[in-house]
Amino acid sequence: MTDNRFDPSDPAPRGAMLGEAIDGAVRKITTGIVIAGALIGLGIYAHPEPRFDAFAFGDQIVRVDGKTGTIIACEGTRTCQLVLRKGQRLDRIKRTSALPKPAPATPLPAAPAAGK
Protein backbone atom coordinates (compact mmCIF):
# COMPACT_ATOMS: atom_id res chain seq x y z
CA MET A 1 0.00 0.00 0.00
CA THR A 2 1.40 3.40 -0.96
CA ASP A 3 0.57 6.80 0.41
CA ASN A 4 0.02 9.29 -2.46
CA ARG A 5 -0.75 12.30 -0.28
CA PHE A 6 2.86 13.50 -0.19
CA ASP A 7 3.98 12.52 -3.67
CA PRO A 8 6.32 15.34 -4.87
CA SER A 9 5.68 14.49 -8.53
CA ASP A 10 1.95 15.24 -8.29
CA PRO A 11 1.32 18.98 -9.11
CA ALA A 12 -2.24 19.10 -7.70
CA PRO A 13 -1.33 19.21 -3.98
CA ARG A 14 1.29 21.90 -4.61
CA GLY A 15 -1.29 24.15 -6.25
CA ALA A 16 -3.71 23.58 -3.42
CA MET A 17 -1.01 24.28 -0.83
CA LEU A 18 0.03 27.47 -2.67
CA GLY A 19 -3.61 28.63 -2.83
CA GLU A 20 -4.04 28.01 0.89
CA ALA A 21 -0.82 29.89 1.65
CA ILE A 22 -1.92 32.89 -0.45
CA ASP A 23 -5.38 32.81 1.15
CA GLY A 24 -3.86 32.73 4.64
CA ALA A 25 -1.48 35.59 3.83
CA VAL A 26 -4.31 37.75 2.44
CA ARG A 27 -6.40 37.07 5.55
CA LYS A 28 -3.52 38.03 7.85
CA ILE A 29 -2.78 41.23 5.91
CA THR A 30 -6.46 42.21 5.86
CA THR A 31 -6.79 41.53 9.59
CA GLY A 32 -3.68 43.62 10.27
CA ILE A 33 -5.02 46.54 8.24
CA VAL A 34 -8.39 46.42 10.03
CA ILE A 35 -6.74 46.31 13.46
CA ALA A 36 -4.35 49.15 12.55
CA GLY A 37 -7.27 51.28 11.32
CA ALA A 38 -9.20 50.61 14.51
CA LEU A 39 -6.21 51.58 16.66
CA ILE A 40 -5.66 54.80 14.69
CA GLY A 41 -9.37 55.67 14.96
CA LEU A 42 -9.33 54.99 18.69
CA GLY A 43 -6.22 57.13 19.09
CA ILE A 44 -7.80 60.05 17.25
CA TYR A 45 -11.09 59.73 19.14
CA ALA A 46 -9.42 59.45 22.56
CA HIS A 47 -6.96 62.31 21.92
CA PRO A 48 -7.84 65.22 24.22
CA GLU A 49 -8.37 68.62 22.72
CA PRO A 50 -5.58 71.11 23.32
CA ARG A 51 -5.92 73.09 26.54
CA PHE A 52 -4.55 76.38 25.28
CA ASP A 53 -5.25 78.32 22.11
CA ALA A 54 -3.22 81.37 21.16
CA PHE A 55 -3.22 83.93 18.40
CA ALA A 56 -1.14 86.98 17.64
CA PHE A 57 -1.58 90.20 15.73
CA GLY A 58 1.19 92.74 15.47
CA ASP A 59 3.17 92.70 18.72
CA GLN A 60 0.19 91.47 20.77
CA ILE A 61 -0.35 87.86 21.84
CA VAL A 62 -3.57 86.47 23.33
CA ARG A 63 -3.78 83.07 25.06
CA VAL A 64 -7.11 81.39 25.84
CA ASP A 65 -7.33 78.52 28.33
CA GLY A 66 -9.87 76.07 26.90
CA LYS A 67 -10.69 74.42 30.23
CA THR A 68 -11.18 77.46 32.45
CA GLY A 69 -11.97 80.14 29.87
CA THR A 70 -9.26 82.46 31.16
CA ILE A 71 -7.86 84.95 28.63
CA ILE A 72 -4.36 86.39 29.05
CA ALA A 73 -2.99 89.11 26.77
CA CYS A 74 0.61 90.28 26.30
CA GLU A 75 1.84 93.29 24.35
CA GLY A 76 5.43 93.52 23.15
CA THR A 77 7.95 92.89 25.91
CA ARG A 78 5.63 94.08 28.67
CA THR A 79 4.28 91.74 31.30
CA CYS A 80 1.10 89.89 30.52
CA GLN A 81 -2.30 90.92 31.88
CA LEU A 82 -5.28 88.83 32.85
CA VAL A 83 -8.13 89.98 30.62
CA LEU A 84 -10.93 87.66 31.64
CA ARG A 85 -11.33 85.10 34.44
CA LYS A 86 -13.58 82.10 34.70
CA GLY A 87 -17.19 83.18 35.21
CA GLN A 88 -16.71 86.76 34.00
CA ARG A 89 -18.37 88.16 30.91
CA LEU A 90 -17.14 90.77 28.50
CA ASP A 91 -19.17 93.99 28.37
CA ARG A 92 -20.41 95.10 24.98
CA ILE A 93 -19.23 98.51 23.88
CA LYS A 94 -21.43 100.59 21.61
CA ARG A 95 -19.74 101.34 18.35
CA THR A 96 -19.20 104.99 17.64
CA SER A 97 -18.18 106.57 14.42
CA ALA A 98 -14.46 107.16 14.82
CA LEU A 99 -14.16 108.67 11.36
CA PRO A 100 -15.25 112.26 10.71
CA LYS A 101 -18.34 112.76 8.60
CA PRO A 102 -17.53 113.35 4.93
CA ALA A 103 -17.74 116.89 3.58
CA PRO A 104 -20.78 117.68 1.43
CA ALA A 105 -20.26 117.15 -2.27
CA THR A 106 -19.42 120.25 -4.29
CA PRO A 107 -21.33 120.73 -7.56
CA LEU A 108 -19.35 120.31 -10.79
CA PRO A 109 -18.84 123.42 -12.96
CA ALA A 110 -21.24 123.75 -15.87
CA ALA A 111 -20.06 122.29 -19.18
CA PRO A 112 -19.19 124.84 -21.89
CA ALA A 113 -21.85 125.31 -24.58
CA ALA A 114 -21.18 123.26 -27.66
CA GLY A 115 -20.73 124.96 -31.06
CA LYS A 116 -19.98 128.49 -29.92
Tens-place pLDDT, residues 33-53: 999 999 998 888 887 777 888
Tens-place pLDDT, residues 45-84: 887 777 888 888 888 888 888 888 788 888 877 778 888 7
> 69: closest CA among 49, 55, 89?
89
- Sign of the CA dihedral 97, 103, 104, 110? negative
* pTM of the entire predicted model: 0.37
Report d(CA 64, CA 80) in Å as an integer: 13
- Split at pLDDT 50, 70, 90, the class of 93 is low
**In the chain, what are the domain boundaries?**
13-47, 52-84
